[in-house]
Amino acid sequence: MNQHYFSTAPSGDFTPREIEVELAGATRRLVTAGGVFSPEHLDEGTRLLLAVCDARDTADVDTADVDEDRAAPQSILDIGCGWGPIALAAALRHPDATVWAVDVNERARELTAMNAARLGLTNVRVAAPDEVPADITFDAIRSNPPIRVGKQMLHDILERWLPRLTAKGSAQLVVAKHLGADSLQRWLSETFAELTVARIARDKGFHVLEAVRSA
């Protein structure tokens, strides 16, 4: 059923089951179900993205002289949240931030809401794309984007959300090399003149691309 994880309403019974994952430095027991992306475990691409973001979130910063570029994000977006690992990790690391977990898949949204409740997180806003207010902007976007929806649809998704980065805001996207990490990096650089795009990590065939908005 994984070919339908980007469907609005996946077919098949909704039967949540527990899995154990590492998020924000601790083991968590969360629920997943068929009809969403990687329902059996935390996939390798998301694992790499979380490691990169976790290292940044926990970096030592001199609170008496904080660089504005390193200021903690107050608004974070997870595009294509699935059962929620990226949004949940961000909410755990940034309890004062508002984390938007967005997915077209209604089952994914339900699972993310269930998992946020399990973890006692009150700063996660689960929404369909059209439910996010148009005036909301984001200090950070973190996503394992739905590459398999096709190149044009993926580009449409990124053209919708990346312009909503705040000044000095940044997006981290994880993409498998064999699914077009190189071409996506080129497209981002060519399409968004206001963004500086770089590859900041790679492991096991996955690359993390970062796009930083100028001031």
Q: What is the pLDDT of residues 35-83, one digit of tens each?
A: 999 999 999 999 999 999 999 888 734 443 445 556 789 999 999 999 9
Digit-coded pLDDT (tens) for 144-166: 999 988 899 999 999 999 999 99
Nearest-angstrom CA–CA distance, 189 and 197: 6
CA nearest neighbour of 83 among 112, 105, 103, 125: 112
Q: What domains does the chain contain, in order, with CATH numbers?
A: 2-60+71-213 (3.40.50.150)
| Residue 180 pLDDT | 92
pLDDT at 210 over 70: yes
- CA-based end-to-end distance of the chain: 43
The model's pTM is 0.91
CA nearest neighbour of 127 among 150, 106, 157, 151: 106
pLDDT at 6 over 70: no
| Residue 59 pLDDT | 72
* Mean of pLDDT values over 91-101: 97
Q: Cβ atoms within 10 A of the Cβ of 13, count?
A: 7
In the Cβ-directed half-sphere of 202, how many Cα atoms lie within 13 Å?
Answer: 9
Is the CA virtual torsion 102, 39, 24, 176 positive or negative?
negative
Q: Kindly state the DSSP code that residue 40 receives in the 8-state scheme.
A: S
The helix, strand and coil proportions of the chain, stated in percent and rounded to the nearest 5, come to 35, 30, 35
* Mean of pLDDT values over 116-143: 98
Nearest-angstrom CA–CA distance, 138 and 122: 18
Helices and strands, counts by H and E, the chain: 5, 9
| Residue 108 pLDDT | 96
* Mean of pLDDT values over 85-109: 97
pLDDT band at 170; cut points 50, 70, 90: very high
Average pLDDT, the chain: 91
